[in-house]
Amino acid sequence: MKSRLIGYQLLHEGILALSKIESNGIHIDMDYCNKKQVHLKRQVKQLYDDILNTKEGKLWNKIFGIKTNLFSGEQLSHVLKELGYKFHINDLTDKGNYKTGETTLEKFNVPFLDNYVRMKRLQKCESTYLSNFITETVNGFMHPFFHLHTVITYRGSSSNPNFQNIPVRIKEIKKVTRNAIIPRNNNMLLEIDFKGIEVMIAYCYHKDPAMYEYLTNKKMDMHRDTAMDCYQLKLNEMTDDIRYAGKNCFVFPQFYGSYYVSCALNLWNAITKLKLKTQQGIPLKEHLKTKGINNQKQFENHIQKVENTFWNVRFKVYTQWKKRWVNQYYKQGYFDMLSGFRCQGVMRKNEVINYPVQGAAFHCLMYCLIQIQNTLESMNLSSKIIGQIHDSIVMDVNPDEYNTILTIINRIMTKEIMQNWKWIAIPLQVEIEVCKMNDSWLNKKQVHFHSCKQCRAKALYKDDSELGKTIWDCPLCGNIEEEIQS
């Protein structure tokens, strides 16, 4: 009962804090939005006409005549069949039609479909994102709603517009949308993110010592090691892009309940999509041939072995916890989150494992958001929280309060939360990204705690690109310092 009272208090105080954040509003560059919207409409029209003039577009027009609509996924599916495109079974709908989402179409890497995907992206960017910004902005400020009652995992959500759904992975769309979000006059935008929070909170449930070692030992890298297993590489053959593929095509999907067949397909396609090569410049598919893997089926068999090692050797304590957790749910019909919430009703196995982690991870952010909001008010600071995105908090910061805000963030998000919630069994880490004064949200960069010798700012941009030297760049005064590494 006590833990559920804690859950209720979190929701109650969270709703009050979010209502104040909604009222604060997000500053939008309306001149930019209006001009960019016109520009995007022209781009979409040009791409539409260009596609119609291709041989594929002419076939499309021949089949559908005056009913031709390049934005119709159903029509596209029919045209692709006529063109003889071969789809993987995973890319077919239940009725046997072709899926026409970006992920499927990008696999073919042909100009017709590349232009088609870009046209659809730009059309959505104009008609959904920028249009919503313009519609929902009043006197220069957009006031999205933030909810705590709509998501079954007890995470937060957003609407009118959905501030949590502004693109970040597609660079072109990210640039268009995030350039529209600017700080109040002479302020700076700041985003705070818990680093790897869901993996950290998962550990608080399963207590796997191997996972603890990976999360606390800076010399160890779970994503790197797993990518090496997946692509049969040595450490000196690894690259950041290969690590990225291992992280997003295997590690996280496995944590959320995927299995080797899907992971193998995505890892195999990532080789082509990301143009993956070893550190020595050898294309990964050529490298895999030297290991006896000549096709996707052989690669799938290999990934099945990697999956077995991942769960039954590397993280066997985690695996044992999953079995116990699911069996307990089957017996009692519910489970309790560490953060004070009870989930009950009919759930799939993956949901039983994922919900307590996703929910409690978000509640860590929610707890901190409440405390930061209360502190801003009690100290009568002019800096404001303006948004919340899953595991991060977005702020509009007065530069004169920059150091104070950093101190508040560090204290609440790495110290106070662990003092108040004893069930957090591993130190939480925070990443902070900052835009320079009057700069748009697009241009945020990560800062590290290091004091500027000129203005005494506590966190600066860090660049280690020069061998044996670290460059510190201050987001407040622009001072640049060189630090020679010993």
Summarize pLDDT for 399-441 with one digit per residue, the tens. 999 999 999 999 999 999 999 999 999 999 999 999 999 999 9
**How much is the mean pLDDT over the chain?**
92
Distance CA 87, CA 111 (A): 17
> Taking 70 as the threshold, does the pLDDT of residue 3 lie above it?
no
Q: Tell me, what's the pLDDT at 5?
A: 74
Average pLDDT value for residue range 41-64 = 94
Q: Which domain does 284 fall in, by range? A: 209-314
DSSP classification of residue 441: G
Report if residue 420 sits inside a domain.
Answer: no
Asked which of 76, 111, 138 is the last residue of a domain, the reply is: 138
Mean per-residue pLDDT for 45-73? Answer: 93
pLDDT recorded at residue 80: 84
Residues 33 and 133 in one domain: yes
Are 129 and 220 within one domain? no
Is residue 380 in a domain? no
Quick one: 218 and 134 in the same domain? no
170 three-class SS: coil
- What's the confidence (pLDDT) of residue 173? 93
Where does 185-259 have alpha helices with state H?
Answer: 197-206, 209-216, 222-231, 240-246, 252-255
Count: domains in the chain: 2
Q: Once rounded to an integer, what is the mean pLDDT over residues 213-218?
A: 94
pLDDT in tens, 114-132: 899 999 999 999 999 999 9
Q: How confident is the model at residue 270 (pLDDT cuts 50, 70, 90)?
A: very high
SS3 72: coil
CATH code for the domain in which residue 97 is found: 1.20.1060.10
| Distance in angstroms (rounded) separating the CA atoms of residues 432 and 421 | 22
Within-domain flag for 116: yes
CA 143 to CA 384: how far, in whole Å? 13
Render pLDDT for 24-35 as a digit per residue (tens, 0 to 9): 999 999 999 999
**What percentage of the chain carries pLDDT values higher than 70?**
97
